[in-house]
Amino acid sequence: MKNYNKVSISQDSRTELHDKLSLTGAEISINNLPAGTCVPFVHSHKNNEEIYFILSGKGKAVVDGETIELISGDWIRISPQGQRQFFASDDEPISFICIQVKENSLEQYTMEDGIMHN
């Protein structure tokens, strides 16, 4: 059994990686919204925070009624309870990665979790 999974992703409107990569601790999706469109619903979560990275384009997120302008290179974290919806700008599409993980579940990171091998 291999200790990794690899997949190539097309430019679909939304691709979820939990099944494609056999993820066990996070959900990751790649999202592409054409200019003038939006995610067609407002949502929140019970347990999972979401971390978004804007790959390209521009748009906005509306979180709990507050508008946050987004451009390529921006990162945004939203608490589970935050009611959110994403929009592409009227004149430019937006592409983003969404990483969904259980809030407060990170116990170790980087050097504390790493094991050096010779």
Give the closest residue to 79 by CA, choosing from 106, 56, 48. Answer: 48
Residue 43 reports pLDDT greater than 90: yes
Q: Which of 1-15, 54-68, 79-93 has the lowest mean pLDDT?
A: 1-15
Name the band, by pLDDT with cuts 50, 70 and 90, for residue 13: confident
pLDDT at 11: 79
Q: Structural domains in the chain?
A: 14-104 (2.60.120.10)
User: Tens digits of per-residue pLDDT, 94-118?
Assistant: 999 999 999 998 888 777 888 778 8
pLDDT of residue 102: 94
pLDDT at 116: 79
Q: Which of residues 1 and 41 earns the better pLDDT score?
A: 41
Give 46 or 19, the one with higher predicted confidence.
46
Mean pLDDT throughout 56-79? 98
For residues 2 and 92, the model is more confident at 92
